[in-house]
Amino acid sequence: DVVMTQTPVSLPVSLGGQASISCRSSQSLVHSNGNTYLHWYLQKPGQSPQLLIYRVSNRFSGVPDRFSGSGSGTDFTLKISRVEPEDLGDYYCLQSTHFPNTFGAGTKLELK
């Protein structure tokens, strides 16, 4: 199985500041069709996960442009600029290029 290594585990931030979360995969996430199926989710306390970014860098419907995704191959990053209170929670990366789908262990974004 593809192992998704997500860092850091915990990320203290100040409101209005910037946050960066890394996700590294144990093998390339480039599919044979040329697409890279790496996605980012936010799970707010007591809620189900919500899709933020799909296929590395595409913001899902309604996601503010403060969120951006980048990367290629095995190395991916989610950046959050101008952090707001509603951004706090657990962030997960997911790869669906290789069977079985695998998630990163999560990053808790919390107030400094």
Contact footprint for another protein (CB under 8 A): 1, 39, 41, 43, 47-51, 54, 60, 92, 94, 99-106
**Complex with another protein: residue 80 or 94, whichever CB lies closer:** 94
Q: How far is the CB of 38 from another protein (least distance, A)?
A: 12
**Complex with another protein: residue 13 or 105, whichever CB lies closer:** 105
DSSP bridge partners of 13:
111
Cβ atoms of 23 and 97 within 8 Å: the answer is no
Which among 31, 70, 33 is positioned nearest to 53, based on CA atoms? 70
Q: How far is the CB of 48 from another protein (least distance, A)?
A: 4
Q: How far is the CB of 51 from another protein (least distance, A)?
A: 5
Q: How far is the CB of 31 from another protein (least distance, A)?
A: 15
**Complex with another protein: residue 1 or 84, whichever CB lies closer:** 1
Q: How many CB atoms lie under 10 A from the CB of residue 3? A: 12
Cβ atoms of 91 and 41 within 8 Å: the answer is yes
Q: How many CB atoms lie under 10 A from the CB of residue 104? A: 24
